[in-house]
Amino acid sequence: MRAHFARTAAVLVPLALFAAGCGSERADTGARSAEPGDRAREVAAAWDGSKAAEVWRAGYYPLSDVVQLPEHAFRNEDDKMAYAAGNYVLDAELPTGSPEKGKVEWESGSSLSLPLVDARKAYDSVARGGDDGPHLTVTAVKLGKATLVTSRGPATVPAWLFTLDGYDTPLKRVALEPSVLPESPIEPLGNATDDLMELQQLVEVGRDGRSVTVLAGHGACDDGAAVAVRETAGSVVLSGSIVGASDGDCTAQLLFQKVTVKLKRKLGDRVLLDAFTGAPVAQRRVPTT
């Protein structure tokens, strides 16, 4: 199944691997290439019933953003720019002496205790900027809770609540780090082609578990990115590709595009995998709002 896509240009970064011809392959790292359908089947077969899959199902892996925006964000373009740049001013005391551990509580009734991220580390993870541009002002900080989609379904987790000047509800930053990812039972590919590329990151899994949104890359001389899906009882494998690539000269840049795919049934505790890497789809790396 191949998803329809909506073109976005929210993120633009230089990419040396895109040479003059947009349709060219990346450098060979020694691993073999594969047809997308064959590769997806191989990845699913390697993971289904594996020790890695057991570790995945026993751990805590967020499948939605660990930073949750205030309601009605953003008031204006300056605030939106400040969030994307990570520009904050701290006009409050950061709590100290928080508990050493916090608990993930799943709707199924199961739970897992993990080390709690302290307020300073949580604040620093969102306040990555520091330039002279627009900024968001934090006026209060306290420990609370948030709900998010995880590898084992919806869960309630501890979160640091940052009150922002001008907003009625806080910005939330989940206060737990994910479990350590299991080692993949299959090697990543070394050759990226227009027909099979690494996905940039997971954006979110729908609350109902029946849709997945990822950030996929493509060049400036094509028709965008597409994502195909292969579902099994134990996994969902996503294969990223480029549509309508040109063989002519092209500027060396990578455009990111959100692509949403629909699943035949809920994701549940199935492992969400990238066909190219053979590993779980990468978590959040860059802001997508």
Q: What is the DSSP string of 156-186?
A: EEEEEEEEETT-SS-EEEE-BPPPPPPPPSS
- Sequence length of the chain is 289
What is the rounded CA–CA span in Å between residue 85 and residue 127? 8
- Tell whether 2 is covered by a domain: no
pLDDT tens readout for residues 1-60: 434 334 343 343 333 223 323 433 322 333 445 677 899 999 999 999 999 999 999 999
Give the tokens for residue 280.
């779980």
What is the rounded CA–CA span in Å between residue 135 and residue 87? 5
Residue 228 near residue 212 (C-beta atoms within 8 A): no
> In this structure, are 169 and 248 located in the same domain?
no
Instruction: From 143, 174, 205, give the residue that closes a domain.
Output: 174
Percent of the chain predicted with pLDDT > 70: 85
Residue 84 near residue 126 (C-beta atoms within 8 A): no
> In this structure, are 25 and 82 located in the same domain?
no
- Tell whether 5 is covered by a domain: no
Kindly tell me the sign of the dihedral angle through the C-alpha atoms of 259, 265, 269, 270. Answer: negative
pLDDT tens readout for residues 202-218: 998 988 899 999 999 87
Number of folded domains that form the chain: 2
Residue 234 near residue 220 (C-beta atoms within 8 A): no
Q: What is the mean pLDDT of residues 271-275?
A: 97
- Looking up tokens 């990223």 gives 240
> In this structure, are 55 and 71 located in the same domain?
no
> Which SS3 state, helix, strand or coil, does residue 120 take?
helix
Residue 34: the pLDDT is 62
> In this structure, are 118 and 22 located in the same domain?
no
**pLDDT for 86 beyond 70:** yes
Omega cis (within 30) before 74: yes
- Tell whether 238 is covered by a domain: yes
Q: Which amino acid is at 234?
A: G
Residue 10: the pLDDT is 38
Which domain does 120 fall in, by range?
67-174
What is the rounded CA–CA span in Å between residue 80 and residue 78? 5
Cite the DSSP H helix spans in 59-213. 77-85, 119-126
